[in-house]
């Protein structure tokens, strides 16, 4: 949650910080602010979107070449100007921006109050600013970068919780300090300038190299140099990486919203997910990043997939696919519950932690809990430098490219594609024949082009979405491989349109769900021509008998749907186990166009942020 960007260099800081905040706004948009040092600290902050802050600075300009900034997703304290970051210490000379949660802030605040400190906000962040300022004053001596770093270290050793911070002090104008624990922070390396950011997208176009800080790293930035040490003052084994993304990757281009752009990028992201991972010679998938031998893969007796939100829905599809192709018992656990229950797992259980960002707090905690219990724990994520990528025992990189829209789209299909590759790999080791492997590979290779065919129906799907835009609520129903797609379709609708939507197995309709059916509550049935097609037709007829409108997702050439559904969107024919990669596309477009019709901000839906890095 929340976005940070800091700058030290030779250019005006304000335009760079504002541009970075705009790119990070998907991480939080309750309020925003910046502080710039030019002899003295000047601050501008206000509640609302980045545009509000831009307008404020237009009316009240500030200048300087060192600064920190923040876009907030509220945790402690309401959405007010006072609670917006940056926050200051008691002296007003130290400024700090912070992502994360200081769990023991109330205890620390009471101690500071007893020492005569005064607070202007209700945030845990202001407590941390005061604590660092207190240590800075206590250290005494020359006001210098080393003194500020030592103050940061001393304060953080008193803190319980998570943090990604950027700190500056009026008395130390040539230094920025950053630190992280559980909340992402990236050092961007430029020429005569350096950056701190919570996401590399904020510094694309400015920095060509980056260091993805690890937990308990402390970084000191000057204009021409930097130093990374540990919280205890030791040497950090950091690695300098190339910034992979271009400015085109983090801009909307000709699309009105990032979400629509990312929906239309799925042919390419799916192609990238499978590229180089299908072996014609061996008729199987190749996933070298798993760091497991064929014998170790054969010895797997059980798989646990864990994730949150959309990643959890992708895992649910993966459960069906892996059990179908590989006959390996597979189950899905909410990452948020994984570490709080004592789930029995035998020694040959392998756990996969699934996260687009690779920084999701609950998923990272599940990964660590699994490893603590001695299980091989692998990651599926989109950021090769993320914490999950670094801490897992191996894994698969999705290659989906940046996903800026808060509502996940291409990451879902990329995760499903990777899990399908895993099912193929494990299946070929066990019972699938060479001809089975070849057939599955050919079907997978055809998926990107089939997605393109569905995207050509965008205008038709838009018409259907507008038809149902003012529904009271909406039901999403599917069976087998497409039950998780129904869950994902409902989630997309809830996230961006704020319409009440529920996802259920079609067969559960008679077991309570049917009570919600009415002319004001449309049902979306995912009903491709598969093994339960006729069962879905029967369920649709039950809804129609109760005057419920029906939108159906069906397979080209299947004529029965047109006789029972009010509107039908067709997908190309494919095997059952690959159908989620196609059926989800119309649901993404349906939710998108309906939300736009209602005037919702689909890229920045209320109360949500892209990456949940606090519990």
Q: 2, 312, 381, 600: which is the annotated catalytic residue?
A: 2
What pLDDT is stored for residue 74 in this prediction? 74
What is the C-alpha to C-alpha distance for residues 476 and 357, in angstroms, rounded to an integer? 27
Q: Which helix (H) or strand (E) holds 487?
A: helix 483-497
- CATH topology for 457-615 is Rossmann fold (3.40.50)
Domain 252-455 identical in fold to domain 457-615: yes
Task: Examine the residue annotation and report whether 2 is marked as an active-site residue of this protein.
Answer: yes
Q: What is the pLDDT of residue 434?
A: 96
Q: Give, in order, the Cα–Cα distances in Å from 28 to each of 70, 158, 348, 406, 470.
A: 9, 27, 41, 10, 28
* pLDDT (average), residues 418-425: 97
pLDDT of 612: 67
For the stretch 233-271, pLDDT in tens is 988 888 888 887 777 777 888 999 999 999 999 999 999
Please, what is the Cα angle at 526 between 521 and 528, to 5 degrees? 150
Residue 615 has pLDDT above 70, yes or no: no
Residue 407 CA to residue 610 CA, distance in Å, equals 7
Q: Which of 47, 93, 109, 610 is catalytic?
A: 610
**Residue 537 and residue 13: Cα distance in Å, rounded?**
61
Please give the DSSP secondary-structure letter assigned to residue 67: E
Q: What distances in angstroms separate CA 70 from CA 46, 199, 477, 601, one per listed residue?
A: 11, 12, 41, 21
The more confident residue out of 516 and 168 is 168
Q: Please enumerate in sequence order all residues whose Cβ is within 8 A of that of 75, keeping only pairs 6 or more positions apart, or say none.
A: 1, 101, 124, 614
Q: pLDDT, tens digit, for every residue of 27-83?
A: 667 889 999 999 899 999 998 888 899 999 999 999 999 999 999 877 777 888 899
The enclosing H or E element of 523 equals: strand 523-526
Topology annotation, domain 252-455: Rossmann fold (3.40.50)
Calculate the average pLDDT of the chain.
92
**Tokens coding 392:** 């897992």
Q: What is the per-residue burial (b if ≥16 Cβ within 10 Å, else e) of 230-256?
A: bbeeeebebeeeebeeeeeebebeeee
Q: Summarize pLDDT for 535-557 with one digit per residue, the tens.
A: 999 899 999 989 999 999 999 98
| Beta-carbon-side half-sphere exposure of residue 566 (alpha carbons within 13 Å) | 17
Query: What pLDDT is attached to residue 60?
Result: 94
Bridge partners of residue 6, in order along the sequence: 68, 196
pLDDT interval class at 220 (50, 70, 90): very high
Q: Residue 613: its pLDDT value, please?
A: 55
Neighbour count for residue 88 (Cβ, 10 Å): 20
Q: Catalytic: 239? A: no
d(CA 108, CA 122): 13
Mean pLDDT of 403-431: 95
Break the chain into its structural domains and give their ranges: 3-250, 252-455, 457-615
Strand partners, 41: 37
**CATH code given to domain 3-250:** 3.60.20.10
Q: What is the pTM of this model?
A: 0.87
pLDDT-derived band at 386 (thresholds 50, 70, 90) equals confident
Query: What pLDDT is attached to residue 357?
Result: 87
Distance of CA 444 to the CA centre of its chain: 25
48 CB neighbour count, 10 Å cutoff: 16
CA distance 531 to 81: 57
pLDDT (average), residues 193-199: 93
């Amino acid at each position: 949650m929340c976005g940070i960007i800091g700058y030290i260099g030779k250019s005006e800081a304000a335009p760079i910080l504002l541009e970075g905040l705009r790119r990070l706004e998907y991480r939080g948009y309750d309020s925003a602010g910046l502080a710039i040092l030019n002899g003295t600290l000047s601050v501008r902050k206000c509640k609302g979107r980045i545009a509000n802050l831009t307008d404020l600075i237009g009316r009240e300009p500030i200048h300087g070449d060192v600064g920190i900034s923040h876009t907030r997703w509220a945790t402690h304290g309401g959405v007010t100007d006072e609670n917006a970051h940056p926050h200051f210490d008691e002296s007003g000379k130290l400024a700090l921006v912070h992502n994360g949660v200081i769990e023991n802030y109330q205890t620390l605040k009471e101690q500071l109050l007893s020492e005569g400190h005064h607070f202007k906000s209700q945030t845990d962040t202001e407590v941390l600013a005061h604590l660092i300022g207190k240590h800075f004053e206590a250290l005494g001596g020359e006001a210098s970068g080393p003194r500020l770093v030592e103050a940061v270290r001393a304060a953080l050793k008193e803190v319980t919780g998570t943090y990604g911070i950027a700190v500056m002090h009026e008395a130390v104008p040539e230094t920025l300090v950053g630190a992280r624990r559980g909340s992402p922070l990236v050092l961007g390396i430029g020429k005569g300038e350096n950056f701190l950011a919570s996401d590399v997208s904020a510094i694309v176009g400015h920095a060509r190299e980056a260091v993805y800080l690890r937990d308990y790293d402390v970084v000191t930035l000057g204009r021409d140099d930097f130093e990374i040490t540990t919280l205890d003052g030791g040497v950090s084994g950091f690695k300098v990486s190339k910034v992979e993304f271009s400015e085109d990757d983090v801009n909307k281009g000709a699309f009105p919203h990032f979400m629509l752009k990312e929906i239309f990028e799925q042919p390419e992201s799916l192609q990238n997910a499978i590229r180089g991972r299908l072996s014609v010679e061996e008729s199987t998938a190749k996933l070298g990043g798993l760091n497991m031998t064929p014998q170790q893969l054969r010895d797997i007796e059980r798989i646990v997939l864990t994730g949150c939100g959309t990643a959890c829905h992708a895992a649910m599809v993966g459960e069906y696919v892996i059990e179908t192709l590989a006959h390996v018992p597979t189950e899905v656990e909410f990452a948020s519950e994984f570490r709080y229950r004592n789930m029995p797992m035998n020694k040959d259980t392998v756990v996969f932690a699934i996260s687009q960002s690779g920084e999701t707090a609950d998923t990272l905690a599940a990964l660590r809990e699994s490893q603590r219990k001695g299980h091989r724990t692998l990651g599926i994520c989109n950021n090769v430098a993320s914490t999950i990528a670094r801490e897992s025992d191996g894994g698969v990189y999705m290659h989906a490219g940046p996903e800026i829209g808060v509502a996940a789209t291409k990451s879902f299909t990329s995760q499903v594609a990777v899990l399908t590759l895993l099912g193929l790999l494990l299946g070929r080791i066990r019972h699938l024949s060479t001809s089975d492997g070849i057939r599955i590979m050919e079907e997978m290779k055809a998926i990107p082009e089939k997605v393109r065919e569905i995207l050509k129906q965008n205008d038709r799907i838009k018409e259907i979405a507008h038809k149902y835009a003012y529904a009271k609520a909406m039901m999403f129903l599917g069976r087998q491989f497409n039950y998780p797609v129904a869950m994902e379709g409902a989630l997309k609708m809830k996230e961006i349109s704020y319409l009440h939507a529920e996802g259920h197995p079609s067969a559960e309709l008679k077991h309570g769900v049917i009570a919600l059916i009415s002319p004001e509550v449309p049902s979306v049935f995912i009903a491709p021509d598969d093994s339960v097609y006729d069962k879905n037709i029967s369920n649709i007829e039950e809804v129609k008998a109760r005057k419920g409108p029906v939108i159906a997702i069906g397979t080209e050439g299947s004529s029965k749907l047109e006789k029972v559904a009010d509107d039908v969107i067709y997908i190309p024919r494919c095997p059952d186990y690959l159908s989620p990669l196609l059926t989800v596309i119309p649901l993404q477009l349906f939710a998108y166009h309906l939300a736009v019709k209602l005037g919702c901000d689909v890229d920045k839906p209320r109360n949500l942020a892209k990456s949940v890095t606090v519990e």
